[in-house]
Amino acid sequence: MSVFDIGRGTKRQNLIPVQGFEASLPVTVVRGTEDGPNVLITAGIHNQEYVGIETANRLAQELEPSSIRGCVAIVHVCNPTGFFSFAPDVVPEDGKNLNRVFPGRNDGSVSEQLAHNLMNYYFNEASCFIDLHSGGYCEELIPHVYFQAMGDRYLENASKRMAQLVDADYMVRAKEYTGSSFSFAAKLGIPGVLLERGGMAAWSENDVLTYLSDVRRILHRLNVISRSEPQRKVPETIERVDYYSADSDGCWYPASAVGSLIKKGMPLGSIRDFFGRELMCPKAAADCVVLYQAGSLAIRRGDFLAACGDI
């Protein structure tokens, strides 16, 4: 069984139940009358990544059987109980990050069962994958995209060709399996990209329209839609990302805005106590650009602070 099992010239929009899970997944599947690839598009694997979710909603409204070749399946929100819970980045039933438990387990916790269902029903028969993310609660970011470099040359080149169509300054060559759907898709040999646009659990019409253009350019390259759109810039490749986390509770003061270029050894920010005494001052491990960082004043020990791409 696969979500792509629908007849030619058909569009379906349903809430699809998941075994062992209280909520249903909002899903749109559109198959054109001509042959083409099976494209899987997911959003809302993280609850508050609204730009990606709203982009999925809009795309689902505009795609019709008469306007596409092949089949496009859109899972608008992969974690629907999370979406309505306002809990940041986790499935509320078990407190796990859904994007760290792929491929999941049939007899596992709720997150693991959800991942297992996504893998078996949605990724089954997909020929390429587009995962729409944004900066969630307390996460500022600049638009960027990841392409898969975990498999063979074919997989990497096919993924990179998709990433190059995103209107962003940077694309990251992702080399590691993380338990994400994106990295597990690579393991299955499905070329894919993971996009990031918008942040701080906010969304704007402008960000959604730009995100829609990114996806339409990729669908055009995949020969799914005829219409293409202009691109302002082609992203530059980043080979390595360094992640920084807090070693104490306190107040977080980033040294610079996301997108800033930082020299090796320069401070990324400062954690201070309520009286202004510095507790931690993480320094850049290499010349880098700040791709995303914590945007909250409050920081706990172990929390994410910043992700910097080496340049």
Q: How far is the CB of 34 from Zn ion (least distance, A)?
A: 33
Decide whether 38 or 47 has the Cβ nearer to Zn ion. 47
Q: How far is the CB of 241 from Zn ion (least distance, A)?
A: 14
Decide whether 21 or 182 has the Cβ nearer to Zn ion. 182
Decide whether 4 or 244 has the Cβ nearer to Zn ion. 244
Q: How far apart (Å, rounded) are the C-alpha atoms in residues 232 and 234?
A: 7
Return the H-helix or E-strand segment holding 181: helix 181-187
Decide whether 63 or 132 has the Cβ nearer to Zn ion. 132
Q: What are phi and psi of 55, to 5 degrees?
A: -65, -40
Decide whether 46 or 217 has the Cβ nearer to Zn ion. 46
Q: How far is the CB of 264 from Zn ion (least distance, A)?
A: 28
Q: How far is the CB of 194 from Zn ion (least distance, A)?
A: 8
Q: Which residues contact 284 (CB under 8 A, 6 or more apart)?
A: 242, 262, 263, 264, 265, 266, 267, 268, 308
Q: How far is the CB of 258 from Zn ion (least distance, A)?
A: 15
**Taking each helix axis from N to C terminus, what angle separates 205-221 and 153-163, rounded to the nearest 10 degrees?**
140
Decide whether 133 or 197 has the Cβ nearer to Zn ion. 133
Binding site for Zn ion (CB under 5 A): 46, 133
Q: Distances from the Cα of 91 to the Cαs of 50, 80, 297, 302, in angstroms? A: 16, 9, 24, 20
Q: Name the burial class of residue 43, with classes exposed (0-12), middle (13-18) and buried (19+) by CB atoms within 10 angstroms of its CB.
A: buried
Q: How far apart (Å, rounded) are the C-alpha atoms in residues 113 and 20?
A: 7
Q: How far is the CB of 179 from Zn ion (least distance, A)?
A: 13
152, 159 Cβ separation under 8 angstroms: no
